[in-house]
Amino acid sequence: MQTHVTTTPFGRRPMSIGQMASQVAANSLPQEATVEKWKVFRSIREARDLLGATDRSLAILNALLSFHPDSELSSEGGLIVWPSNEQLMARANGMPAATLRRHLAVLVDCGLIIRRDSPNGKRFARKGRGGEIEQAYGFDLSPIVARAAEFGELADAVRAEKKAFKVAKERLTLLRRDIVKMIDAGIAEGVPGNWGRVSQIYQETVGRLPRTAPRQFIESLCEELQELWIEVRDILETFTKAQNPSANESHFERHIQNSNPDSISESENGFGKKNEANSEAEEPDNLRSLPKRELPLGIVLDACPILKDLAPGSGIRQWRDFLAAAEVARPMLGVSQSAWRDACQAMGEVQAAIALAAILQRSDQINSAGGYLRSLTEKARDGQFSTWPMVMALLRAKLEADKTAASPDRKQPKDNQAEERLYEASEA
């Protein structure tokens, strides 16, 4: 016959209102309440962060449940287990005694178990004549039965949050991949558009992403990238629809080869058509001798190292990074938006960015960068301009500067001669 059901812990351990609330919930159990203990334990394990439990405390709870003989926890049966600390430490894979006591307190604070301590703090059970347990002192598992539905709801919420977080990360990855590849395709195909601004917006948006971010932040970032994705897609779709849909494959290949408006071959064709009536298509000697290929990015960066300091993010590794850095340099040089737009239309955005980088490199020798760029734009419209001579002149000036630094007695070239070399092509 039970004499009294204890409500307070033994010794110096204090009693809290939270522990009293757990006991009230346990006492309000329906008489026929039954749950599968390992199913509820899985729900508790998934919702452990919401409950405030730890991995070690759940290892102890697993050990406590293993001391209950049945696979189900029922309010009609005994829900108190009384293993000793030695038995608990053995089933908890040799957990130290101090760690065991600390995490038992965590289980009590989380409302997962209740202490039913004896007068002397020992854990034991007193049986009657028929072998039935009359009084037990130990750990009461009734909160697990009383809160089983709550644990299931918390576990469902955790699973839903994990799924939403995974979906948000997948969406972010797809948006980043699509935007980067569409920008690269737009630049490579010579699609008209302010690709430098688009690249700068993309890098600034992605640059705000921390190493670990909550789901809400990732979703808000996805909304910003979604708007940028729509803008880039519309540019490419508009360009695609403007093309002749019945063009054959060979025509399409020729279009790819000549899609860059600042390429040398297209400049030659435009210059030739302009004078086709007179049958006197002539080219300047410096443009005729230029290589019939694009400038490598490495050569441009070697000739214009100042632009690398303006690159957002992790530096300039691709042409879109170069365009983003040029977009930063444009207002610094005082180049208006209209002058930049005209240059991009006449030269192509990549070549206009190279010209801007060369102007930035010689900004101490150029009084008006905007006027200088407009002058180059007019030459490009007439088919009399290429970025090759500018870059080669900068590289040659760099070599001469290195030689001058090595030989202090050598005279440096005059400023007007250095500026004129922006138009000249090297003999090589």
Which residue ranges make up each domain of the chain?
17-146, 161-240, 260-274+284-420
pLDDT tens across 313-324, in order? 667 888 888 888
C-alpha–C-alpha distance, residues 375 and 283, integer Å: 19
Q: pTM (2 decimals)?
A: 0.58
pLDDT tens across 353-391, in order? 899 989 988 888 888 888 888 889 988 888 888 888 888
> Looking at residue 242, what is its pLDDT?
80
Q: How far is CA 58 from the centre of its chain?
A: 33
pLDDT tens across 24-42, in order? 666 666 667 888 999 999 9
> Looking at residue 21, what is its pLDDT?
62
Question: If 0-12 CB within 10 Å is exposed, 13-18 middle and 19+ buried, where does residue 415 land?
Answer: exposed
Q: How many CB atoms lie within 10 A of CB 217?
A: 14
Contact 290, 388 (CB under 8 A): yes
C-alpha–C-alpha distance, residues 312 and 315, integer Å: 6
Of 416, 415, 345, 331, nearest to 374 (Cα)?
Answer: 345
pLDDT at 201 over 80: yes
C-alpha–C-alpha distance, residues 159 and 148, integer Å: 17
